[in-house]
Amino acid sequence: MRGWMGKFRSLILFGALTLFLSGCGVENMTALKPEGYGANLLFDLMMISIAIMLFVFIIVMAIYTFVLIRYRQKKGQEDYIPKQTEGNKALEMIWTVIPIILLLVLAVPTVQATFDLADTGAKNDEDAITIEVTGNQYWWHFNYKGQEITTSQDLYIPTGERVYLDLKSSDVIHSFWVPSIAGKMDTNPGENVNSMYLEAFEEGVYWGQCAELCGPSHSLMDFKVIAVSPEEFDQWVKDMQNVDPEAEPKTASAKEGQELFNNNCMSCHAIGSGGAGIAPNLTNFGNRTMIAGILEPTKENLVNWIVNPDEIKPGNQMPANLVSEEEASKIADYLLQLKHSEVTPDSAGDNNQK
Amino acid sequence: MSTAVAQNRGLGAAIWDYLTTVDHKKIAHLYLVSGGLFFLIGGLEAMIIRIQLMEPSNNFISAGLYNEMITMHGTTMIFLAAMPIIFALMNAVVPLQIGARDVAFPFLNSLGFWLFLFGGLILNISWFTGAPDAGWTNYAPLSTTSPGHGVDYYVMGLQISGAGTLIGGINFLVTIVNMRAPGMTYMRMPLFTWTVFVTSTLILFAFPALTVGLFLMMFDRMFGSAFFDVALGGNAMIWEHLFWIFGHPEVYILILPAFGAFSEIFSTFSKKRLFGYSAMVFATVLIGFLAFMVWAHHMFTVGMGPIANSIFAVATMAIAVPTGIKIFNWLFTMWGGNIRMTTAMLWSIAFIPTFTIGGMTGVMLAAAAADYQYHDTYFVVAHFHYVIVGGLVFGIFAALHYWWPKMFGQVLSEGLGKLTFWLFFIGFHLTFFIQHFLGLIGMPRRYWTYQEGQGLELGNMISTVGAFLMAIGTLVFLYNIVQTAVKGEKVSGDPWDGRTLEWAIPSPPPHYNFKQTPLVRGLDALWVEKMEGKNGMTPAEPLGDIHMPNNSILPFLMSLGLFIAGFGFIYQVDNKMWLILVFIGMGITLGSMLTRSVKDDLGHHIHKEDLEKGAGE
């Protein structure tokens, strides 16, 4: 019996752990606290399936427990030979038919949700916002279609509205995942463009990740979705459309930085809506939540990153030691003052944790 | 030829004996030892992964090395640990269970093993030159553009090893169809044999898909073709489909024999025949069939569209029905029985709730849209470890404790066995249960590190602690093997009061297995005889000369040739001089094949008189 109690105790322990953990996790990164339409739909689907599965599990465990307690060999029973039952047609029918019914109950909402989330037909409407998302090793490129806005890493969207995404990759397969707003979708190389939509209920900064192994820095390919009110979003769009890439910075060091940047970095990077898209577009860089998706936006981190990118994100395309540390410091001054919009991650309100 | 079996038991002779053996029982030992070694290597890789993830922003190993670790861990565990140990059990048990003296193609059996082993060696030699780093699924274009030769090792290693598995599968298919003892109809076959039969069929159909995929990958990487290169008109999705058309049945190839072993163990240690035998057989075949229909559920987020996703979702859910039938039939096998809590039974009993959880999360994953959240997260990692460890590894431990006396003539220590069990069982649940939640709160799979403040610290810590417990449990098991071997206590042929044919002969069996082929008169053939008060099987033939195959070094040489040629293929990209190795290696292989073709080898006889004297064992 002792083995049995042990197992039960561990089961209870796991149950408690479950309850404890479901309250855990960071609010804007968990699939368990949906903040958007897709995540919400998927959360409901998860709950239906968990309910059905727990029902089955409890039945199995009930029979299991009974059998093991009741029919365990007792002292003096060593030679007892039980009746050799062949089977039982009625019982076997029951545990064939009931699971089929349970699965049908699950299959219907599954198919509904699958079609619902694939319904991106409205993306060609005139007032729909469609964003082309390109996964790159190891950063995200966002091109707001028909708006002449190009950004990377921070994706601004309005709340309460469906924002359509066309997803593709410039190199290997990545997967675009914002757990608390929507599910994920792969970005494929070539002409396999995938579509999905995001709809955030509340303002906030939501953490996104790459979910498909894409190289050494796969785990560092983070991005943020910044959901702001529709008015703020309109403001942001206006600001971003009026970016002047040539604008002169105020401080002397930043001015030198601008020149260094133009001479050394512009062959890959861009500011404004142009650029080849072979490296992150740095428009509005000063308002970024993070540098390279993972570092706190401080000058020290930025200088480090410019001089030695491979130490921070192994395997990325940016060459090391392109500029000296002194030059990098000036470039950092320039980049950090690139605040092209009044609308910043802070505008996204209380939900902002970073 | 005479009855000559190596009498000289010197070390050299013993090694030569194993290098040349075509005896399925010795090949079982070979599979077990090499699979066990690879299992330890894979386990070590797992421990390194868990140490790296113990705390946020850890730098225990570099990002590149980490990707090599996860790739090799997955590849090693599936191809080099699980498959060969399954093959060890198949070799050790199936011919005995069906009352055969040997497998259908003893030479091919040996060839299959050596190909597997040399393929595995190629894969692991890559550790010295840069291991594959594109994940065990090796998705293009990450794999086709991966620098260095890591992925080339993956391609060559798996190609050679996979050929061995395919050969082994065909051999068992033919063995089971053709070599059953008189009276053993299909519906009297023990369930383990049934599951091996279905598994062999799956191997026959699934492995060619892998072979094709690996060839395309090989041409892309080594000979400049562009099957997966979108820039030149290829399509990277082809690899995903080919891989999963193989990869999904693969998990059933692994799990079905474990189901078979559990069926035997539940039945034996409950002293009851299997409940719903015919339903179990039907469920096994149905699972095997459905295994081929659902591969695209690994690709719900690839963008196949809602129609394909829905079809594959529903087809996948359907697998839960036959699996459920099995679970309930096992429960009702114990119902009304006389349950003995041996170590083998303990593992089997622990399998039921564990695998049920794995099955439940499987159905959850099958809900296509919900998979947009689960896919490529730790939820999936948790799910497949519940299924593969909770099903297959538990199954291997159960089966090893159960059949160890048949294989080696000694019973493993029950006390140490139970200690192993509890350490491993608790460690396992600590490691993987929490990973369901890590996935749901946003931890993607194959992450080298995670940031502080993402709420992932505690879960990862618990997981790592659990992994250490599992490792300790495994070490206790190794100690158990050594201790048992040193003690060397011999057991009878039937230590568990068994029901099937393998328990009717001595442990370990003589190399001709059955002196006289037994006559099978019902399901659980030995049990039928026991119930009629007899000690052993009724023979189906008079005592006579037994024909046995001769040993041969050729399978070893053929595989060695391919092993050498493999390096030539890998490195000819750098320098054409390496093609010399290709010619030498292929020369050895083709020369061995030619020798095999032109040289008559008719085997030998064990004479009646010797059998009567009890010699030749």
CB B219 within 8 A of CB B572: no
A215 contacts in chain B (CB < 8 Å): 67, 142
pLDDT(B115) > 60: yes
| Chain A residue at shortest CA distance from B135 | A213
| Chain B residue at shortest CA distance from A67 | B335
What is residue A20's predicted lDDT score, i.e. its pLDDT?
A: 54
What is residue B5's predicted lDDT score, i.e. its pLDDT?
A: 47
Question: Which residue type sits at B406?
Answer: K
A114 contacts in chain B (CB < 8 Å): 306, 309-310, 313, 368-369
* Closest by Cβ to A49, choosing from B370, B437, B449: B370
What is residue A277's predicted lDDT score, i.e. its pLDDT?
A: 78
What is residue A8's predicted lDDT score, i.e. its pLDDT?
A: 58
A182 contacts in chain B (CB < 8 Å): 372
Please name which of B136, B90, B145 lies closest in space to residue B112, comparing C-alpha atoms: B90
Distance from CA of A211 to the nearest CA of B (A): 5
B366 contacts in chain A (CB < 8 Å): 110
The complex's ipTM works out to 0.92
A117 contacts in chain B (CB < 8 Å): 306, 369, 372
Mean of pLDDT values over B62-82: 97
CB–CB contact A211 B377 (8 Å): yes
Describe chain A by its helix, strand, coil percentages, rounded to 5.
45, 20, 40
Collapsing DSSP to helix, strand or coil, B401 comes out as helix
Place of tokens 């105020």: A250
Helices and strands (H and E) in chain A: how many: 8, 10
Distance from CA of A258 to the nearest CA of B (A): 32
- Ranking B9-23, B253-267, B404-418 by mean pLDDT, the lowest is B9-23
CB–CB contact A188 B449 (8 Å): no
**Sheet of strand A129-136: strand arrangement:** A149-152, A139-144, A129-136, A163-169, A194-198
CB–CB contact B356 A39 (8 Å): no
Q: Which residues contact B265 (CB under 8 A, 6 or more apart)?
A: B344, B345, B348, B398, B399, B402
What is residue A320's predicted lDDT score, i.e. its pLDDT?
A: 86
What is residue B359's predicted lDDT score, i.e. its pLDDT?
A: 95
CA B410, B416, B422, B423 torsion-angle sign: negative
A118 contacts in chain B (CB < 8 Å): 305-306, 309
Collapsing DSSP to helix, strand or coil, B420 comes out as helix
A-facing residues of B in 402-441 (CB < 8 A) are 422, 426, 429, 433-434, 437, 440-441
What is residue B613's predicted lDDT score, i.e. its pLDDT?
A: 77
CB–CB contact B331 A60 (8 Å): yes
What is residue A18's predicted lDDT score, i.e. its pLDDT?
A: 57
Distance from CA of A147 to the nearest CA of B (A): 26
| Chain A residue at shortest CA distance from B311 | A111
Query: Which one of B294, B301, B423 makes the best mutation probe of the A interface by having the most chain A beta carbons within 10 Å?
Result: B301
* Closest by Cβ to B363, choosing from A31, A53, A171: A53
Structure tokens at B472: 């300790």
Q: Rounded to the nearest 5°, which phi and psi values hold at A245? A: -65, -20
What is residue B10's predicted lDDT score, i.e. its pLDDT?
A: 86
Structure tokens at A289: 């939540």
Question: Which residue type sits at B344?
Answer: A
Collapsing DSSP to helix, strand or coil, A127 comes out as coil
Query: Which one of B347, B429, B451, B461 makes the best mutation probe of the A interface by having the most chain A beta carbons within 10 Å?
Result: B451
| Chain B residue at shortest CA distance from A175 | B301
Q: Domain map of chain A by residue range?
A: 252-345
Distance from CA of A108 to the nearest CA of B (A): 9
Burial A19-47 (b: 16+ CB within 10 A, else e): eebeebbbbbbbbbbbbbbbbbbbbebbe
Distance from CA of A251 to the nearest CA of B (A): 34
A171 contacts in chain B (CB < 8 Å): 141, 145
What is residue B35's predicted lDDT score, i.e. its pLDDT?
A: 97
Secondary structure (DSSP) of B86-148: HHHHHHHHHHHHTT-SS-S-HHHHHHHHHHHHHHHHHHHHGGGT----STTTT-TTTTTT--S
What is residue B269's predicted lDDT score, i.e. its pLDDT?
A: 97
Exposed/middle/buried for B503, CB within 10 Å: 0-12, 13-18, 19+?
buried
Mean of pLDDT values over B467-483: 97
Distance from CA of A85 to the nearest CA of B (A): 7
| Chain B residue at shortest CA distance from A137 | B142
Query: Which one of B441, B450, B526 makes the best mutation probe of the A interface by having the most chain A beta carbons within 10 Å?
Result: B441
* Closest by Cβ to B338, choosing from A6, A80, A186: A80
> Does the beta carbon of B167 lie under 8 angstroms from any beta carbon of chain A?
no
- % of chain B beyond a pLDDT of 70: 98
A51 contacts in chain B (CB < 8 Å): none
Mean pLDDT of chain B, nearest integer: 95
Whether a cis peptide bond, with omega within 30° of 0, leads into B186 is: no
B422 contacts in chain A (CB < 8 Å): 6
CB–CB contact A173 B360 (8 Å): no
Mean of pLDDT values over B474-492: 95
Q: Report the C-alpha dihedral over residues A50, A56, A62, A63, rounded to 10 degrees.
A: -160
CB–CB contact A314 B139 (8 Å): no
A-facing residues of B in 342-361 (CB < 8 A) are 346, 349-350, 352-353, 356-357, 360-361
Q: What is the DSSP letter of B181?
A: P
A183 contacts in chain B (CB < 8 Å): 301, 369, 371-373, 375
B327 contacts in chain A (CB < 8 Å): 60
**First CA to last CA distance, chain B:** 17
Query: Which one of A95, A165, A196, A311 makes the best mutation probe of the B interface by having the most chain B beta carbons within 10 Å?
Result: A95
Distance from CA of B67 to the nearest CA of A (A): 7
CB B41 within 8 A of CB B125: no
Alpha carbons within 13 angstroms on the beta-carbon side of residue B365 total 31
Structure tokens at A63: 């029979």
Quote the CA–CA distance of B33 and B30 in Å, as a whole number.
5
B236 contacts in chain A (CB < 8 Å): 173, 188-190
| Chain B residue at shortest CA distance from A95 | B325
pLDDT tens digits, one per residue of B254-263: 999 999 999 9
* Closest by Cβ to B339, choosing from A21, A73, A180: A73
Distance from CA of B17 to the nearest CA of A (A): 42
pLDDT(B236) > 60: yes
pLDDT band per the 50, 70, 90 thresholds, residue B472: very high
**Sheet of strand A204-210: strand arrangement:** A154-158, A223-228, A204-210, A174-177, A184-187
A197 contacts in chain B (CB < 8 Å): none
CA B487, B489, B490, B491 torsion-angle sign: negative
Quote the CA–CA distance of A26 and A37 in Å, as a whole number.
19
CB–CB contact B141 A88 (8 Å): no
- What architecture does CATH give domain A252-345? Sandwich (2.60)
What is residue A3's predicted lDDT score, i.e. its pLDDT?
A: 52
Query: Which one of A37, A186, A198, A220 makes the best mutation probe of the B interface by having the most chain B beta carbons within 10 Å?
Result: A186
A86 contacts in chain B (CB < 8 Å): 273, 275-277
CB–CB contact A91 B67 (8 Å): no
Distance from CA of B115 to the nearest CA of A (A): 30
CB–CB contact B364 A31 (8 Å): no
Residues of chain A with confidence (pLDDT) below 50: 1-2, 351-354
| Chain A residue at shortest CA distance from B305 | A118
